[in-house]
Structure 1
Amino acid sequence: MALIVRELMEALVLALIVLFVIQISVQNYRVDGHSMEPTLEDAQFLMVNKLSYLRMDLDRLDNLVPFWDSPSGTASYTPFAGSPERGDVIVFQRAGGSDMSFVKRVIGLPGERVEIREGHVFIDGEELEEPYLDRSDRVGDMLCIPHTSNCRVGEDEYFVLGDNRTDSQDSRSWGSIREDDIAGEVWFTYWPLCDAPHMDTLFDACE
Structure 2
Amino acid sequence: MGRKERSTLVRLWLRQILETVTLVLLMLLLIRVTLQNFHIDGHSMEPTLHDQEYILVNKAAYLLQGPARGDIIVFQYPRDPQENYIKRIIATPGDRISIIKNTVSVDGTVLHESYVNKDDPYNPYPAIKQRVVGPDQYFVMGDNRGNSSDSRAWGMVPRRNIIGKAVVVYWPFDVDNLGLLPNESGVFAHVR
Quickly name the TM-score band, shorter chain normalised. Answer: 0.7 to 0.9
Question: CA–CA distance in 2 between the matches of 1:25 and 1:103?
Answer: 18
Q: Paired residue for 1:134? A: 117
Q: Is contact 2:87-2:141 (8 Å) kept? A: yes
Percent of pairs with identical residues: 41
Q: Paired residue for 2:163? A: 183
Q: Which of 45, 54, 63 is the aligned partner of 1:45?
A: 54
What do the CA deviations read for 1:60-116 (whole angstroms, capped 9, x no partner)?
xxxxxxxxxxxxxxxxxxxxx111111000000023424110000000111111111
What do the CA deviations read for 1:32-79 (whole angstroms, capped 9, x no partner)?
00000000000000000000112xxxxxxxxxxxxxxxxxxxxxxxxx
Question: CA–CA distance in 2 between the matches of 1:44 and 1:6?
Answer: 42
Q: Which has the larger radius of gyration?
A: 2
Q: Residue 187 of structure 1 aligns to which amino acid in structure 2?
A: V
Q: Is contact 2:100-2:128 (8 Å) kept? A: no
Question: CA–CA distance in 2 between the matches of 1:138 and 1:11?
Answer: 54
Q: Is contact 2:117-2:145 (8 Å) kept? A: no
Q: Residue 171 of structure 2 aligns to which amino acid in structure 1?
A: W
Give the aligned CA root-mean-square deviation in angstroms.
1.7
Question: CA–CA distance in 1 between the matches of 2:115 and 2:121?
Answer: 13
Q: TM-score, normalised by structure 1?
A: 0.74
Q: Is contact 1:115-1:142 (8 Å) kept? A: no
Structure 1 position 6, deviation (Å) = 0.5
- Structure 2 gaps of 5+ residues are 1-9, 174-192
Q: Residue 114 of structure 1 aligns to which amino acid in structure 2?
A: I
Question: CA–CA distance in 2 between the matches of 1:96 and 1:89?
Answer: 19
Q: Paired residue for 2:93? A: 110
Question: CA–CA distance in 2 between the matches of 1:139 and 1:112?
Answer: 24
The residue matched to 1:185 in structure 2 has which SS?
strand
Q: Paired residue for 2:20? A: 11
Structure 1 position 138, deviation (Å) = 1.6
The residue matched to 1:151 in structure 2 has which SS?
strand
| Higher mean C-alpha deviation, range 36-45 or range 136-145 | 136-145
- Structure 1 gaps of 5+ residues are 55-80, 194-207
Q: Paired residue for 1:36? A: 45
Question: CA–CA distance in 2 between the matches of 1:191 and 1:179?
Answer: 28
Q: Where does 1:1-207 land on structure 2 (aligned, <5 Å)?
A: 1-54=10-63, 81-140=64-123, 142-144=126-128, 151-192=131-172
Structure 1 position 118, deviation (Å) = 2.3
